[in-house]
Amino acid sequence: MAQSASQQPATTATGTLHQKGLTKRARLRRQMYLAQMVSFILDAAILFLYTLSGAISVSASALYVAAGVGWTAIALILSELHFNDRFQDHYLTVPQSLGSIGIELAAIYFIPEVGFYFVSIIFVVLGFGALRMSARQTGVVWAYAAIGLTAVFTLTNQPIGMPMHSFAERHLALLCFVTALGRCAFTGLYGASLREALYKRGNELKIAHAKIEELAQIDELTGVLNRRYVMRALNDEMARAQRSGTPCAVAILDIDFFKRINDGYGHPTGDEVLRGFAIALTANMRSIDRLGRYGGEEFLVAMPDSTKDQAVLGLDRLRQIISELDWDAISNDLKVTFSAGIAQVRPNDAPEDILARADAALYKAKDAGRNRVMVG
């Protein structure tokens, strides 16, 4: 029962995040479908002007707006019912593009007097849809539009054109193409916003990846490098020292009588000691030194550009700092010291060689009474 209770908040949080994602997707779809509906209404307004000029019938423009708005309304209703969320492309770009192009093809056939205007709208629909479609999907929609246009132009005798006989018709034609250009411009702006969103998402993923990489290197309890990455740091510093001929010292530190701390004060106190110990070391070491948790209460330090004598001086200073720290905030009468073994990198050393010498020096420090630094 306790396990189920502890898992419940995580499950609820995951469900909340999922619901927020679905809500955001539905809102984005709603905006797109409303923009599409506005586009059809704009077309209907232009067609109504053509009916006033006598170029086309009222019924033709009414059927066009009914088809366009009706198609978009169906898509919007399905979106609000979250039908789209079951698909990878939740915008259903391909069906939407095919449906819109189908309406334009029908308009070319049934309202051929202004057919070239609907041809221009097909270009807009395909261009807008291509922003969200794969190459294969774009090819399918293009083929559908091309076959449809071929059928209308070659298999029918409809006089497809654009009336420009009067002053009013020429200005209406200008209005048609200007509005089509406006939608092309909107498509370009939409594409730019998609690129910006992708760029932002890419940066967010890079930051997240960097944080994950950083967390993978850090020991969760102490905040210093974990064993894997401190060993990698040791290999890097050894290789650099051997390649350049510069000195490098390595030390293994062990908290004295740590088992007694755990047994006498409890494991939570032991964890606090480990954490405070690591913080104190980090705060008082050189920035170029590489500190990591080697295992249990043992820590490994790689000290580039340090001879063993310099390393002894540095670690003895750290030893004194640790021994003089006030640990009363963790537990009364608690005293913490450490022992350390130091070895210097030799030209032909492998990591296991220098670690063996540092470990042997650490045991010498323990045998000599602890709370001291020895060289191997």
Q: Using one digit for the tens of pLDDT, what is the confidence trace for 254-308?
A: 999 999 999 999 999 999 999 999 999 999 999 999 999 999 999 999 999 999 9
Spatial separation of the C-alpha atoms in residues 153 and 159, rounded to whole Å:
9
Give the model's pLDDT for residue 16: 59
Helix or strand or coil: residue 374? Answer: strand
The proportion of the chain whose per-residue pLDDT surpasses 70, expressed as a percent, equals 94
Q: Give the strand order in the sheet containing 298-304.
A: 290-295, 298-304, 248-255, 338-344, 373-375
Q: Quote the pTM value.
A: 0.57
Per-residue pLDDT band for 54 (boundaries 50, 70, 90) equals confident
- Asked whether residue 188 carries a pLDDT value surpassing 70, the answer given is yes
Does residue 104 or residue 202 have the better pLDDT? 104
Q: CATH 3.30.70.270 spans which residues of the chain?
A: 227-375
Give the C-alpha distances (Å, rounded to integers) separating 23 from 19, 20, 80, 137. Answer: 6, 5, 10, 26
- Asked whether residue 364 carries a pLDDT value surpassing 90, the answer given is yes
Give the model's pLDDT for residue 231: 95
Per-residue pLDDT band for 329 (boundaries 50, 70, 90) equals confident
Average of pLDDT values for 30-43? 89
Question: Is-contact 191 131, C-beta < 8 A?
Answer: yes
Give the model's pLDDT for residue 12: 52
- Spell 339-364 as b/e; 16+ CB within 10 A means b: bbbbbbbeeebeeeebbebbbebbee
Per-residue pLDDT band for 244 (boundaries 50, 70, 90) equals very high
CATH architecture of the domain 227-375 equals 2-Layer Sandwich (3.30)
